[in-house]
A and B are shown apart, each in its own frame.
Chain A
Amino acid sequence: QKEVEQNSGPLSVPEGAIASLNCTYSDRGSQSFFWYRQYSGKSPELIMFIYSNGDKEDGRFTAQLNKASQYVSLLIRDSQPSDSATYLCAVKGTGGFKTIFGAGTRLFVKA
């Protein structure tokens, strides 16, 4: 079982729709959860982080965390073509110094 699992996609949504990106993780004791966006040929950039169960909103982005289900998601409202990128889920566990990244989900927003 992969430590951090994401659907590779591509996920295709029309402009203006809600894009829903999902991530599951295996370390039940994980405490910190991050979403990064990576445009083609560019480095990952932090979009959101969440530490507590529930929802966290920042502009058009909402991160949702359910530790009991070991599930974290990212919702993008009013999706724009500029949101087209690969979204990386990252999880930091309780032991060691590692942050584990998922392979990423490619998102296409069609104009």
Chain B
Amino acid sequence: ETGVTQTPRHLVMGMTNKKSLKCEQHLGHNAMYWYKQSAKKPLELMFVYNFKEQTENNSVPSRFSPECPNSSHLFLHLHTLQPEDSALYLCASSQDSGQGSNQPQHFGDGTRLSIL
């Protein structure tokens, strides 16, 4: 149990579907992250939220839409995805993410997403 819970664990969707990924952290952290992990590639940072404010959007296509209603919850809304979007999507949290922060990140177990 990492303290970061992601649902669903697996998701199969068509290119025209709309779905959402959910992440919840029970660690009292103030920063939350979405990463994409594809086979044999480094973790790709997608979005960073610090105290509910988005502080990083790493040139992510608009078919991915994040939402952070509070410091404990993070969503990733998916719409009109492409086959190349099939990957493991990981949520992480840390105490904070400011420029001077050196806090490590704690990861959830991820959502394995397959686009048909």
Binding site for B on A (CB under 8 A): 4, 8, 31-32, 34, 36, 42-46, 49, 51, 88, 90, 92, 94-104
CB distance from A14 to the nearest CB of B (A): 26
Known: A45-B2, A103-B41. A97 touches B56 (CB 8 A): yes
Q: Are A88 and B110 in contact (CB under 8 A)?
A: no
Which one, A42, A92, A95, contacts B102 given CB within 8 A? A92
Residues on B with C-beta less than 8 A from A92 are: 101-102
Residues on B with C-beta less than 8 A from A90 are: 105
Known: A51-B102, A94-B99, A98-B48. A45 touches B42 (CB 8 A): no
CA distance A74 to B104 in the complex (A): 16
Contact with A along B16-40 (1 / 0, CB 8 A): 0000000000000001000000001
Residues on A with C-beta less than 8 A from B107 are: 36, 43-45
CA distance A95 to B50 in the complex (A): 15
CB distance from B4 to the nearest CB of A (A): 8
Within 8 Å of chain A (Cβ to Cβ): is B97?
yes
Residues on B with C-beta less than 8 A from A49 are: 102, 104
Within 8 Å of chain A (Cβ to Cβ): is B109?
yes
CB distance from B79 to the nearest CB of A (A): 25
Interface SS of B by simple majority:
loop
CB distance from A30 to the nearest CB of B (A): 10
Known: A43-B90, A88-B43, A103-B40. A97 touches B98 (CB 8 A): yes
CA distance A43 to B101 in the complex (A): 22
Within 8 Å of chain A (Cβ to Cβ): is B106?
yes
